[in-house]
Amino acid sequence: MDFETRICQNCQKDFTIEPDDFSFYEKIKVPPPTWCPECRLIRRMNWRNERNLYKKKNEASEKREKILSMYSSNSPYVIYDKEYWWSDEWDPFSYGREYNFQKSFFEQFDELLKNIPLQALQLMNSVQSQYCNYIDHNKNCYLVFGTGFSENSRYLSRASFSKESQDLLTSNRNELCFDLVDCFDCFNLISSESCNSCINSVFLYGCRNCNDCFGCSNLINKSYCFFNAQLKKEEYAEKIKSLSLGSNTNLIKIREKFNKEIKDKAIHRFANVYHSTNCTGHNIYKSKNSKNCFDIMEDAEDSKYGIHSLNIKDNYDVYGNYKNELCYEGVDNDVGMNNIATITVYSSNNCSYCFTCQASSNLFGCVGLREKEYCILNKQYSKEKYFELKLKIIKHMNQMPYRGIKRVYGYGEFFPVEISPWAYNETIAQEYYPLTKEEALNKGYRWKEEEERNYPIEIRSGNIPDNIEDVGESFIGKVIECDHKGKCNEQCTEAFKIILEELQFYKRMNLPIPHFCSNCRHYQRLKQRNPMKLWNRECMCDDKIMDIMVNVKTNLKLLMHQIDLK
């Protein structure tokens, strides 16, 4: 088919469906989308709460003691602790039900979701990492989210394969690092952005293969550079010695100087696309034929609108997928094929509209099933009956679509935001597309009011010692006031504690105690990133390459050297 322009039913703006898109939709037998790509992304993000954690009653326990949960205490969802949820002590089939053709499909799915027990947190194959969410194969981690294969680390977000690190965002394969955004394969790197393979450095932007550099930008294969000036090894050592980075006051002044004199004047690469062929987006590695993708760790092929994914092929509109092929509209799915509209579905094939199912195939509208097949709404059918009923339900979804506050959902659409377990400001949608309460409600999203915390503050932010040398173990476990005091739109926790491993890290790295809670620090790093959008721009190099797709805002210097296209 030819290009087709449609109007998004959510934002009412035009969007284009290309011939390759139509081919994909035909391959998986879904109608073309009625929402634009950005609205589809926000809709998926509305179904992922990573870092808003609550105390909620564990219904698996006779005492019903409260445990840490991603579902709020007053939400209607039933939660079990991880061990009981994975056990054979309960039967997900006991919550199954007949399909009712007098109700819309999504209405029935919502009823099932609110009735069946759910995992309090998404913790897979991890050890000593109970204060985390959406993690896999982690060890000794604390407040780590959307991250896998990491150890001895704290306050990571989408920062897999990390070791002995803290406060990282979308940065992978780093060790002994702190406060990084979009950095990869680095060691002992501090407060830097968009760097690869850098060692023993502080305050870098857009550098590669550098070691022992401070306050620099756009350097490749350099050593002993200070604010982009080349120094001798001895001169560099003297400069670093005089800085006193353990002082919070000094660190703030140096950061301001770096931002004003170096980072704001830096040349920005058109997009971080490395070792890839025919790809557009940002932070893409070792991929081919993938368009409008962001934060692809490696190996995306023939995919589009993929976010924060790894080893995907023929995937459209996915977030957090790993080793998936021929999948559409998914969130956090591992190892699967031919899945449509699935959330945290692992090692499963041919599933549609499923939530937290594992090692299964041919499921439709199921929740919490393991090693099952030919099921609809958690009810078992024969193979023949399953496919017969599935076709009837698909037809019914279009004849009786779910009607939300301002939207209509038929077959092929992702789960409605109206039945998400979380309000807009609880989810990662608020991280990438922040809204005020009024804006969210006007758009038809739910909003969760902040719960009163009333923490007994033991250390006011103004009383935190300026230098790490003056902080002793008496600080461990104390309730410290966040500088924002909850008066921001950054999911502020109002207070925070320093744990032993964290203090040891600050001492080892000679870094001051933070003045903000981990959520506020996370949002400060988010502000350093460009939105997940592309613009048509002209390169500012001498070659004047025209009409390139970039992830750089129009007010920044842009360069697209041929040497950087590798």
Tens digits of per-residue pLDDT, 210-228?
A: 999 999 999 999 999 999 9
Contact 378, 366 (CB under 8 A): yes
Classify residue 541: in a domain, yes or no. Answer: no
CA dist., res. 192 & res. 258, Å (int): 11
Radius of gyration of the chain (CA): 24
Question: Are 82 and 175 contained in the same domain?
Answer: no
Average pLDDT, the chain: 94
The predicted-structure confidence for 169-192, as pLDDT tens digits, reads as follows 999 999 999 999 999 999 999 999
> pLDDT of 409-420, one tens digit each?
999 999 999 999
Segment 518-524 mean pLDDT: 97
Mean pLDDT for 371-395 is 99
CA dist 263 and 294 (Å) reads 22
Looking at the structure, tell me whether residues 80 and 109 fall in a common domain. yes
- The answer to whether position 288 is within a domain reads yes
Helices (H), 510-562: 518-526
Judgement on whether residues 41 and 93 belong to the same structural domain of the protein: no
* The predicted structure's pLDDT at residue 560: 46
Q: Of 320, 25, 3, 357, which is closest to residue 147 (Cα–Cα)?
A: 320
Structural domain includes residue 536 = no
550 domain residue, yes or no: no
3-state class of 242 per DSSP? coil
Check residue 138 and give its pLDDT. 98
Does residue 182 sit in the same domain as residue 233? yes
**405 and 519 together in one domain:** no
Q: What is the pTM of this model?
A: 0.93
pLDDT in tens, 94-120: 999 999 999 999 999 999 999 999 999
Are 182 and 208 in the same domain?
A: yes
Model pLDDT for residues 115-148, shown as the tens digit of each residue: 999 999 999 999 999 999 999 999 999 999 999 9
Band of residue 545 on the pLDDT scale cut at 50, 70, 90: low
What count of other Cβ atoms lies within 10 Å of the Cβ of residue 453? 10
Range of the domain at 231: 147-269
Confidence of residue 539 (pLDDT cuts 50, 70, 90): confident
Domain boundary among 388, 410, 432: 410
Residue 483 has a pLDDT of 96
Tell me, yes or no, whether 396 and 487 share the same domain: no
Do 430 and 489 belong together in one domain?
no
List, in order, residues 6 or more apart from 62 with CB less than 8 Å away.
Answer: none
Which tens digit of pLDDT belongs to each residue from 38-94? 999 999 999 999 999 999 999 998 878 999 999 999 999 999 999 999 999 999 999
Residue 428 falls inside a structural domain? yes
Mean pLDDT, rounded, for 235-262: 96
For residues 83 and 107, state if they share a domain: yes
172 and 103 share one domain: no
**Are the C-beta atoms of residues 189 and 195 closer than 8 Å to each other?**
yes
**8 A C-beta contact, residue 176 and residue 164:** yes
Could you report the per-residue pLDDT of 551-565, keeping only the tens digit for each? Answer: 665 555 555 433 333
479 and 495 together in one domain = yes
Same domain, 396 and 473: no
- pLDDT (average), residues 522-546: 83
Q: Residue 37 above 90 pLDDT?
A: yes
Per-residue model confidence as pLDDT tens digits over 433-463: 999 999 999 999 999 998 888 899 999 999 9
At position 474, the amino acid (one-letter code) is S
Domain count, the chain: 5
**Residue 551 forms part of a structural domain:** no
Tell me the two tokens of residue 145: 């989210």
pLDDT tens figures, 369-380:
999 999 999 999
- Does 308 reside within a domain? yes
- Answer yes or no: is 315 within a domain: yes
The tens digit of pLDDT for each residue in 320-360 reads 999 999 999 999 999 999 999 999 999 999 999 999 999 99
